[in-house]
Structure 1
Amino acid sequence: MNMQVKRRADYTPPLFVIRDVKLFIDLNPTQTRVKSRLEIERKGKHSEPLILDGEKLELVSVRLEQKVLEDYALNDTSLALANVPDCFTLEIETLIDPQHNQALEGLYLSNGVYCTQCEAEGFRRITYFLDRPDVLATYEVTVQGDKTSLPTLLANGNPVARGENTDGTHWVTWQDPHPKPCYLFALVAGDFDLLTDSYTTASGREVALELYVDIGKRERGRFALDALKRAMRWDEQKYGLEYDLDIYMIVAVDFFNMGAMENKGLNVFNSKFVLADQNSATDEDFFNVESVIAHEYFHNWTGNRVTCRDWFQLSLKEGLTVFRDQQFSADMTSPLSNRIKHVRVMREHQFAEDASAMSHPIRPDEVIEMNNFYTVTVYDKGAEVIRMLHTLLGEEGFRQGMDEYFRRHDGQAVTCDDFVAAMQSATELDLSAFSRWYSQSGTPVIEVERKPVDEAGNQTITLRQRNPKTADQHKKEPLYLPVAMDCIDANGAHITDDEGKIKDGLVILDSESVTLSFSGLGNPVIPVVLGNFSAPAKVNNPLSVQELLHVFRFADDSFNRWDALQSLYDWCIEQYANGNGSNVNDAIWSGLKGVCLDEADNHELLGECLVIPSFETLCQSRTLVDVDRLHRAREQFCHDFAMQLSEPLTQIYASIAAGSYQYSQYQVNARRVRNVVLGHLALTEKGSQLVERQYHNADNMTDTLGALKAAQRGKSQLFETLMADFESRWKQDPLVLDKWFSLHATCERADSLSQLTLLREHPQFSDGNPNRVRALIGSFAFYNTAGFHAVDGSGYKFVTDYLLQLDKTNPQVASRIVTPLTQWQQFAPGYQEKMKAQLGRLLNQSGLSRDLFEKVSKSLAFDEHQA
């Protein structure tokens, strides 16, 4: 196995380019025949051989200018041809085995459906090619297969010809006129139900829309198709971007490593992000369907028309497109809930990645396995960096920068620097210091220092940024931080500093510190720092309990109000962890009761404010976490929260009528509050009755699942009874059954591992189904705190045992599930040693994949980096 490190600094342009590709693909379960015809040109003056990437291929023949070629060098990863002309036609015939491709990369066959996944480096599993994103070509693809079992034959672009053969096969030819990198190639063949629609673009072109789903699930695809049209209209109105082909196709498949893939004109989706109706999908599922549909559509310009020069530039397309789908979702649903959702991902997962051995900038510097680039840092922190640019340039300036970006680079493979340069053209701000976000890893910390008000009524507040060293970088430079700031006085008035450093609610912290001066004060100013999470940073702002409640009462921004309560909850849990639970006194409970009463009708805010910070979020404000102590402290606070607030919570629950289901924002907010409240009430004496009643009366999956999650927190027997009923209802629906597996995996019980072992023997569990693996093993590793972090290390061993097997067939999924183990450094020494022992077992395994080797080896080298 090649474990060579690839470095961004080593990038060199391709020595050859492929201008045009013609493919003939004759589908067969174990002997799919691929014939490629490539128009190739040498770039520059050199005599280097042509080296094509290829893996898991059986080479049949090579022809150069129609002549059989036998003078070539072949190994497991490449085909090399020396002494080729400057311009030539190369024809290559290969055989591949889709049926046994359990890695689900390249072309694979699963459940009777042929499907491709070529990002990042899967095309080399289909044919020999220059498998790199900076080689763009036009494609003509003919797909041939059995007419009975494969009535649908799809590829990128527009269909231009079709026909039938006398042997029972048929074929379709597709042309994509837009040059694209091979990672955007797609092929799907199978038997599907089809939903059709059309969309008329702003310029009057009619685009055919086609959505392919499993037989019998047609109606569950209508929401996705409607979401696609909303996304198309939004992109025209927001960014002036039209779709550019005659047809746009989406295919939903159950066996898929990713959420979805933006292949040009033929998006392949994990079914969980397409299929939705009120009986089988929660409000969160509906949201995710719309968001992911939009994300992949928006890639048509930010990713396809303008693509990455190399994979180190992945955030160029992913960070930007995540930001765009976040904008879209905020416009379609709740801006507040959307923002909180993004911030939770950052605080729970991205901050943890920054603090681990896998820390890297949003534009990484080196990698062993390209699949390991698909991280919360590249995607979500990348989106936060784009959001900061949007904040600095404003709506109009950002749009000007985007327009310039497309004007300069349409049809090109470019870099993050090219994007920043386009943005620089739209502003007088100097973005050179801002560009450090692309090259510097880690989470900055903003320290807030308040001086007391002096006798003359003057006060200063100093913001300092601290950039801790990370596993990959020890020396740090100050980052360019746009810090949203609100200063509230004792009467709830909003004031600004004397020198006007707070401009339009924003302080630019672009050096180690900035000091704000206030005069004429009677009482200290309460600073609200990093409002709306204006930069991906942590804040150390030591406000008192009463000051946090004051911020909740008087802050103008709902996000800041929510964030103040999150800080209050964090403080309370810390008191419990330190044995000082009595410090959480009646004044605090009274303040929280006031929150419930005052915001009872503000469902959008209340539904978020009543959520206690997750264990994962709590870890990011602490070091060397004693898991058992912190987990028990959180559980005790949750219990007391339910008991102390049971009366107002009961009133809130009773005040929200269930009603007939609609996926509308008003109803989503109301259901959100109702189910969060039910989760708390499940811990009270009357909770079981409420849970059972809601479960049996629910007319939608949101309330059904809300009842099950509440039951999981309450009496175990009720949970088991309801889960058995749920399984009997939904055992034939794979997506719904994933929820059942996940609920079992996250249930904290003394016999968790025995339960997981039994569930692995369940007739509906399959190690070959990534969704099912993530639902059971992934949910346990990421979210079952007590089980995964069992003090005897048994949870770590269970996950490791499973990964040793999974890595042999699907390294991508294994590499994602190992993540919690690689973040051992945030826990107390006793936990660390047990986690590292299991990582050592993985590293000592012969034949370990590049995917796992990279993450495990870097994690175990963390001590050396920190020395």
Structure 2
Amino acid sequence: MREGASPLIQRSDYQAPAYWIRTADLTFDLDGAKTIVASKLQIERNTDLPVQALRLHGEDLNLLRVLIDGQSVSFRHEDGLLVLDAPEANSFVLEIRNTIAPEKNTQLSGLYASGSGLFTQCEAEGFRRITYFLDRPDVMAVYSVTLRADKKKFPVLLSNGNLVEQGDLDAGRHYAKWSDPFPKPSYLFAVVAADLVAREQWVRTRSGKDHLLQIFVKRGDLEKTEHAMNSLIASIVWDEARFKLPLDLERFMIVAVDDFNMGAMENKGLNLFNTKYVLATPATATDADFDGIESVVAHEYFHNWTGNRITCRDWFQLSLKEGLTVFRDQEFSRDMTGSASARAVCRIGDVRRLREVQFAEDAGPMAHPVRPEAYQAIDNFYTATVYEKGAEVVRMMHTLVGREGFAAGMALYFQRHDGQAVTCDDFAQAMADANPSSHLATSLDVFKRWYAQAGTPRLTARGEFNAEAGSYTLTLRQHSTPGAAPQLLPVSVALFGRDGSAQPLQLAHESGAAGTERVLVMTRAEHRFTFTGLTGEVVPSLLRDFSAPVVLDDGLSDADLLVLLAHDTDAFNRWEASQRLATSRLLAAAASSQPTAVDAAYVQALRSVLRHPDLDPAFKDLALTLPSARFLMEAMEGVDPQALHAAREHLLDQLAEQLHEDWAWAWTAHQVREGYSPVPAQSGRRALANLALAMLVRDARRSGDTVWPGRAYQRCKDATNMTDRLGALTALVYAHAELAEPALQRFHAQFQHDPLVLDKWFMLQAGAPERDGKVFARVRQLLQHPDFTLNNPNRARALLFTWDTNPAAFHRSDAAGYVLWAEKVLEMDSVNPQLASRFARGLDRWRNLAETYRNAAREAISRVAAAPKLSSDAREIIDRALQD
């Protein structure tokens, strides 16, 4: 086996554990340099299996003592496991004592130091870096935890569950005892020891019980926690109202951590969060930041039931908790908006992320089913497929059984499995059993292919109008990836006349029309549906609200798309029409490497959207924003990133020029005069105004006008909120305006002591459109900036992860981008393998590049593969990228 490679773990090899841990009594003597961990575990043999040795996971531990029922026992180490010969008793108490060094733990997995505090991250396999244990999700124990530490250095001592006792000890030390009454797997364990302050709020749930909510942050950050607390309260209220799932502990705690590999972690009752998803004020956070906090707080709280109370049997079932909980947080966000148009904006954002990241993943070397069949490093499978595509699978269930049917399925799921570690099949079965007459129940085996098959299905739709019969026959054909069987696809459909009128829908076998929209269900490779009672030609609106995660080819002409853009009652498909009109023009220009003059019909259609009196400003912003370069790259074969970038920049320049007066009107008409609030009614206006400003500053580059760059610079100075300030700065930087540099310097001077705002400063520069190599040169320069560090994941993501998703700045003709990528993958891997493996995925789709780029990219990947030391996390990514 190559160095750094781990053995392949197969789902088919799953076996129940040979032993169960029923209770875990843990004591920590906490210190950054050396923490002593003592565990007392009540263990039972699984009598369904043959008698065998007890094998415990452990990593980077200094073992001091092992006792069984109070007596010393012999042990040995095998392949990273602590092995004890089979004890004679079926039930026994195992005591282990070991030490760890949190300050040396740069992986940020297990117990580690961040600033002056100690924090844990145990998902997926971090608990084994704390003490020896059966570190697998199907081993669920009841935990009692005693924490002891220096009171001055670590005045706050937290763990899961309820606080039982606390007090002072000798020599300036103190202690706290915590008890979690609910059995949980080790990945949900958490400890915090730090100097923190808390925002507190009492809430009363529908049952009449009072609960204490606490958000812990560093001193000086307390004023930035109001929105997070409001989001938590809203999440509690929503989950109890929508799914009848109450808060089940005396208290619920959130702790903000500066150094964190993920967004947040749902440890039972003690959620640890990246500060990015807790801290916000109007002066330091954008509208998108406020939305992100609300969404992530909700996501982690919802895990309390979908992930904690019912957890995964094994890591192959990761989407059981993540896909379901992403669906729940998406539904929460939509419900919180308060309007149909704002709900649609949420959906569009979800689908954009799915297409840009997950569809690319499905087409690349890391393609895997929602329920993977094998892995080497489980950290690599916290992917868009598991999360976002998993959420789409749940959403299709919701579509098939309806809102009430889905709620009934959730209730049955908890009735059957509360307190258990189960599988994706168990969830699907509960949904089907609660809705026995649904398409989900009658075709459950077909539906479950979504869990088993990798790749993005392609759906071809063609329609034929028969004027004599007044009918329209829609033929749907699905094309799965090679070797895959047809999927169950819910296809939401409406038909529009050329005048934009929604047509009543009546299938040939029906006695009358029933509404203007319906869901057609495919279970085979091909289906035909004939609609009758039509008086003229129609334009089909298919896959409304993106009812299935597929690539659609409906053969619609520009004229058809213009009808949908002007009249479709489904906001998602209206937006989709705008994107497809832009995509066809951009791909044609990129393929020919020649600038394409924008046609008058397209410009007028965009003007009509921009000036439309009834459309929501947030929707206008999305409809008028061109498809991203990342999305466009997935729509091409043999991609030349520089040609695609040139085509996109040229189209932006034309739209900036030809819609100049319209942009000026939009800027003026959408200013927010009232006090700041991150509500959709305001954020949409700010988004459209900032888009208009960016286009006006861009056009000033052509015309030589100094007014709009001057206005942007003035707003950088005077804005009363970060959304407007950063929007103005972005306009200057993205246009490479002369005032961009002094504006960047001023922004840095003003916010250099706020890490999250400084992350925005790095991100903005790394994500700017490339021009004459300036962005790449700036990235290299910023790597040497005194405020840059690879040790903080947020800072590394802000600069390097932004840069490697900026196609023209990353995919350079001289291969310098690939050389830098390889250098930084190796550097990161020596510090934080999880971070490195995620950055390594920047070249997942290297085979889709044009030949000159492809050859250089392969050379860079091979250079990383040849490194003498590479973590198992990075090794899996790199080896899969090179596989033929």
TM-score range, shorter chain: over 0.9
How many residue pairs end up in the alignment?
855
**Corresponding residue number in structure 1 for 2:417:** 409
**Corresponding residue number in structure 1 for 2:36:** 33
Is the 1:254–1:271 contact (alpha carbons within 8 Å) kept by the matching residues of 2? yes
1:87 CA displacement: 0.7
Mapping of 1:529-568 within 5 angstroms? 529-568=542-581
Name which of 106, 118, 121 aligns with 2:122: 118
**Corresponding residue number in structure 2 for 1:296:** 300
- Structure 1 window deviating more from structure 2 (637-646 vs 413-422): it is 637-646
Name which of 435, 441, 447 aligns with 2:454: 441
Name which of 766, 783, 786 aligns with 1:763: 786
What SS is found at the alignment partner of 1:531?
coil
Deviations for 1:628-677, whole angstroms, at most 9, x for unmatched residues?
21111111111111111111111111112232322222111111111122
Name which of 322, 336, 354 aligns with 1:346: 354
**Corresponding residue number in structure 2 for 1:735:** 756
1:761 CA displacement: 2.2
**Corresponding residue number in structure 2 for 1:276:** 280
1:830 CA displacement: 1.9
Is the 2:606–2:624 contact (alpha carbons within 8 Å) kept by the matching residues of 1? no
Deviations for 1:580-626, whole angstroms, at most 9, x for unmatched residues?
75563222222222222224763132122111110111122222222
1:842 CA displacement: 1.2
Code of the aligned partner of 1:693: Q
1:731 CA displacement: 0.3
* Counterpart check, 1:626 vs 2:647: no
* Counterpart-to-counterpart distance in 2, 1:480 and 1:284: 34
1:767 CA displacement: 1.4
* Counterpart check, 1:42 vs 2:63: no
**Corresponding residue number in structure 1 for 2:381:** 373
Code of the aligned partner of 1:696: K
**Corresponding residue number in structure 2 for 1:485:** 493
* Counterpart check, 1:772 vs 2:780: no
**Corresponding residue number in structure 1 for 2:18:** 15
CA gap of 1:788–1:134, structure 2 versus 1, over 3 A, is same
1:455 CA displacement: 5.8
1:35 CA displacement: 0.3
Code of the aligned partner of 2:667: Y
CA gap of 1:76–1:432, structure 2 versus 1, over 3 A, is closer
1:461 CA displacement: 2.4
* Counterpart-to-counterpart distance in 2, 1:105 and 1:827: 35
Is the 1:661–1:700 contact (alpha carbons within 8 Å) kept by the matching residues of 2? yes
Code of the aligned partner of 1:392: L
* Counterpart-to-counterpart distance in 1, 2:26 and 2:288: 40
Give structure 1 stretches of 5+ with no counterpart. 470-474
**Corresponding residue number in structure 2 for 1:788:** 810
**Corresponding residue number in structure 2 for 1:472:** none
1:76 CA displacement: 6.1
**Corresponding residue number in structure 1 for 2:730:** 709
**Corresponding residue number in structure 2 for 1:388:** 396
* Counterpart-to-counterpart distance in 1, 2:336 and 2:469: 50
1:78 CA displacement: 1.1
Code of the aligned partner of 1:627: P
**Corresponding residue number in structure 2 for 1:849:** 871
* Counterpart-to-counterpart distance in 1, 2:535 and 2:246: 57
* Counterpart check, 1:590 vs 2:590: no
Mapping of 1:198-217 within 5 angstroms? 198-217=202-221
1:720 CA displacement: 1.2
**Corresponding residue number in structure 2 for 1:183:** 187
Code of the aligned partner of 1:605: F
Is the 2:316–2:372 contact (alpha carbons within 8 Å) kept by the matching residues of 1? yes
Is the 1:319–1:383 contact (alpha carbons within 8 Å) kept by the matching residues of 2? yes
Name which of 62, 70, 77 aligns with 2:80: 77
CA gap of 1:518–1:264, structure 2 versus 1, over 3 A, is closer
Code of the aligned partner of 1:133: P
What SS is found at the alignment partner of 1:438?
helix
Give structure 2 stretches of 5+ with no counterpart. none
Deviations for 1:694-732, whole angstroms, at most 9, x for unmatched residues?
322310000011111111221342211111100000000
- Structure 1 window deviating more from structure 2 (248-257 vs 594-603): it is 594-603
What SS is found at the alignment partner of 1:486?
strand
* Counterpart-to-counterpart distance in 1, 2:784 and 2:798: 15
* Counterpart check, 1:171 vs 2:180: no
* Counterpart-to-counterpart distance in 2, 1:727 and 1:201: 44
Code of the aligned partner of 2:391: A
* Counterpart check, 1:608 vs 2:608: no
1:825 CA displacement: 2.2
1:577 CA displacement: 2.4
Deviations for 1:265-284, whole angstroms, at most 9, x for unmatched residues?
00000000000000000000
1:574 CA displacement: 2.4
Name which of 248, 264, 281 aligns with 2:268: 264
* Counterpart-to-counterpart distance in 1, 2:476 and 2:695: 37
CA gap of 1:856–1:615, structure 2 versus 1, over 3 A, is same
**Corresponding residue number in structure 1 for 2:64:** 60
Code of the aligned partner of 1:846: P
**Corresponding residue number in structure 1 for 2:820:** 798
Normalised by the length of structure 2, the TM-score is 0.95
Is the 2:585–2:596 contact (alpha carbons within 8 Å) kept by the matching residues of 1? no
CA gap of 1:141–1:520, structure 2 versus 1, over 3 A, is closer
**Corresponding residue number in structure 1 for 2:7:** 4
Code of the aligned partner of 1:42: R
* Counterpart check, 1:318 vs 2:322: yes
Is the 2:506–2:533 contact (alpha carbons within 8 Å) kept by the matching residues of 1? no
Is the 1:575–1:584 contact (alpha carbons within 8 Å) kept by the matching residues of 2? no
Is the 2:5–2:876 contact (alpha carbons within 8 Å) kept by the matching residues of 1? no
* Counterpart check, 1:676 vs 2:699: no
What SS is found at the alignment partner of 2:738?
helix
Code of the aligned partner of 1:735: L
1:485 CA displacement: 1.1
1:499 CA displacement: 2.2
Deviations for 1:551-577, whole angstroms, at most 9, x for unmatched residues?
112211111111111111111212322
* Counterpart-to-counterpart distance in 2, 1:744 and 1:351: 27
